[in-house]
Chains A and B, each alone.
Chain A
Amino acid sequence: QQQVKQSPQSLIVQKGGIPIINCAYENTAFDYFPWYQQFPGKGPALLIAIRPDVSEKKEGRFTISFNKSAKQFSLHIMDSQPGDSATYFCAASTDNDMRFGAGTRLTVKP
């Protein structure tokens, strides 16, 4: 069974909107929670990551919110742009094992 559940599968927003992608995990041994961005034909690339000792991390227009007690975390993209259109994956990791969500295809319309 998938250890990291991601929703929604797809998301369409207008330019300037704030898409939110949610993830939930099962294994309390996970201690590193990254988000990856993937463009067609390319490998995933790290966007932003958080450790469970903080509840929020912001880098530019991207923010991770983390709720340890609920075992949930989410990605917010502020002032979204058409160039943000990509597939986004959340992940949860121990030292040796990084498990990914199923991915969210984001489309930002001009």
Chain B
Amino acid sequence: NAGVTQTPKFQVLKTGQSMTLQCAQDMNHEYMSWYRQDPGMGLRLIHYSVGAGITDQGEVPNGYNVSRSTTEDFPLRLLSAAPSQTSVYFCASRDFWNTGELFFGEGSRLTVL
């Protein structure tokens, strides 16, 4: 099992550009989420999904869109990147029915100039 796979690992954007961070999991978890990690702020929840076709906002959703067409994939879209979106982004899936554990990907470091 690969677990949670994120691509790309690194990306540099100019202000106003758009991009999609990809996330895939092979553990058949219904719940998936996106966090951003900034120094001194911990991990903040952006959006989450409890199953295909269902998404909801987290703590810091502004400037980000998500969709969930399959159980495996949960892409995060930045429609018009801003320097404030410079961060490390983590995708995670959650094993609700056993331990409740959140499994994280290795992260995507995004820089917006």
Pairwise interchain contact B42-A43, C-beta atoms closer than 8 A: no
The interface on chain A, measured as residues whose beta carbon lies within 8 A of the other chain's beta carbons, has a size of 26
Pairwise interchain contact A99-B45, C-beta atoms closer than 8 A: yes
Pairwise interchain contact A34-B59, C-beta atoms closer than 8 A: no
Q: A42-B106, A99-B59 are in contact. Are A49 and B45 (CB under 8 A)?
A: no
Interface residues in A64-110 by Cβ distance below 8 A to B read 89, 91, 93, 95-103
- Smallest CB–CB gap between B51 and chain A, Å? 11
The interface on chain B, measured as residues whose beta carbon lies within 8 A of the other chain's beta carbons, has a size of 28
Where chain B touches its partner, the secondary structure class is strand
Q: A2-B42, A44-B90 are in contact. Are A49 and B100 (CB under 8 A)?
A: yes
Chain A to chain B contacts (Cβ below 8 Å), 26 pairs: A4-B42, A34-B101, A36-B102, A41-B106, A41-B107, A42-B106, A42-B107, A44-B43, A44-B104, A45-B104, A46-B99, A46-B101, A89-B42, A91-B102, A93-B100, A96-B31, A96-B48, A96-B56, A97-B48, A98-B45, A98-B94, A99-B45, A99-B59, A102-B41, A102-B42, A103-B42
- A-side residues, CB < 8 A to B, are 2, 4, 6, 9, 32, 34, 36, 41-46, 49, 89, 91, 93, 95-103
